Each structure stands twice: as structure tokens, then as C-alpha cells.
Amino acid sequence: MRTNLNIITIVQARTGSTRLPRKVLLSLCGKPLLVRMIERVKASQLAGKVIVATSDLFEDNVIADICESEKIECFRGHPTDLLDRHFFAAKYYKADAVVKIPSDCPLIDPNLIDKIIKTYLDNLDTTDYVSNLHPATFPDGNDVEIMSFKTIERTWFEATKDFEREHTTPYIWENPEKFRIKNIVWENGKDYSGTHRWTIDYEEDYIFIREVFESLYSPERIFSMYDILNFLDEKPYIKNINRKYAGSYWYLNHLNELKNIHEYKSKLKNAINE
């Protein structure tokens, strides 16, 4: 495994969420949700420099201020073109590889981040992009993607559709003939993506995440996704707080709208390195 690459991990964040405005500022155990998440990302051994990438809008000055007070690297860029924001952050920090994690994943497991980065590093000669999203089998809210700088650079030049620019990596997923793609799935063959929702878009999501943090958080130890699963087995009623939103995923909705989900899945299955 090569470890001399300049890897950066970008957490994109903004205050202008339409479903739950300013969600990254909500309190978790006395700190903003974004700060608690960055603590977890920084616990990864392979994440490299961790950067919050926010917009250059006035309303997101508060994110830049939090980053400054918490000594977190902050990069500011395009408000809606996240591909542009990620690409120029990668260019600014002279990255060899870019890890992408959305800021709505405050329960992200640092060990999973390491697993996906290690898979990329172990397969540098045959892989451009690794994620745990295609197909997704981990609890929703453990989204990790890593790609080479050349991959994000090519994507930035070639992607033209609005959703490709807004969500950064769909051009890669939808063009497996152009990129060498690898996917990580849950080891025991189970699929938790449709039954466990650990991301935050709605008030119920925040209540659920707050319950988990208040029960498991310790400044001495980062709790894992296995700790969360055990906790939910002991107190299944907590999982019910946001159960009605489980399985809600924007990209699958997009594919259904285009009526090409079966074509996409078949193309991706053939291209992914198992």
C-alpha cells in the first residue's frame, strides 16, 4: 500500500439546506454537528488533511468562522456547483487523491473511511474511484468516495448536466467505461442501507442522531457503527424516530425518473471490479 500520496478529505457543508436549514450548526453534545463530524473524520488514519468546503455566500460565513475557531481547514467556492468546489479545493491543496464525504453524515465511521482509502491505495494501478455507494449496503450516512486527482479533473472538464455538477461524482458512476470503479460492500452480505438511516435531512433525523450521540459520545473514544447497531438492538424504539425516511436516496429517485435504473445497474455491475 502506497502511503506517500497527498490525500485530502473534503467535507462539503452549507447552511442553506432547504429541508432542514442550518442543520450543520445544530448542537451535538455541546458543539455544532459539523464539528462533531469533523472529529470523527479526523480519527481516520488515512484521511490526510481534512477540509471543510463551503460556499462563498455571505450566509456561509458562519461555517468559515466555526472552522477558524476550531482550527479546521476551510475552502470556499461555488455555491451550487459542488464538482467545481471539490475540483478547485483539490487543486489548491495539490491533492493526488480526493476523499468526498457529505456533511450530513455526523455518524460516519472512521474505520470505514480507512477501509475505503486503503482499498484505493492497494489498487492504484487498476482503480480510479472507490466508494461504498454503488451499490450501497452500509447504513445511510456512511457515504465515502475517493478518486484520483486526474479523475476529478476529467470529470470537471467533461460533466455538463446540472445533477452531475451539483453532486460531484454522478458523471463517474454513469460512465464506468471511462473510469475504473471499485465498490465496497458490507462483509456479511447484509444490506443496511434501506433500513438504517443515520444521515440528516429532517427534524426526526436530528432527534435520532442526538439520541445516539447523547448515549454513546465520549471525548476519549470514537464510537463505531457497530456500537450504534448494538445500541439500536438494545433500544429499537430509537431507530423508529426517523424510520419513515429510511431508504430515501436522491440518486435512485433520479434514475427512476429517467426510467433507466435497470440499464444503469447492468452497466455498472459489468464494469465494477468485484
pLDDT averaged per 10 residues, the chain (length 274) = 87 91 96 98 98 97 98 97 98 98 97 98 97 93 97 98 93 94 90 94 97 97 97 96 82 50 48 45
Q: Are the C-beta atoms of 54 and 60 separated by less than 8 Å?
A: yes
Structural domains for the chain: 7-192+245-271 (3.90.550.10)
Query: Does residue 110 have a cis bond before it (omega within 30 degrees)?
Result: no
Phi-psi region of 40 (alpha: psi -120 to 50; beta: other; left: phi over 0): alpha
> CA–CA separation, 184 vs 178, rounded Å?
20
pLDDT computed for residue 267 by the predictor: 47
pLDDT at 264: 46
Coil, strand or helix at 146? strand
What is the model's pLDDT at position 187? 84
* Cell 450543520, located at residue: 24
How far CA 53 is from CA of 84, 100, 267, in Å, comes to 11, 10, 32
pTM of structure = 0.91
Per-residue model confidence (pLDDT) at position 241: 96
What distance in Å separates the CA atoms of residue 246 and residue 232, rounded to the nearest whole number? 15
To the nearest 10°, report the CA torsion of 234, 203, 35, 140: 60
Evaluate whether 219 touches 179 at the Cβ level (below 8 Å): no
Query: Side-chain half-sphere of 159: how many Cα atoms within 13 Å?
Result: 26
Strand partners, 197: 140
Residue with cell 425518473: 257
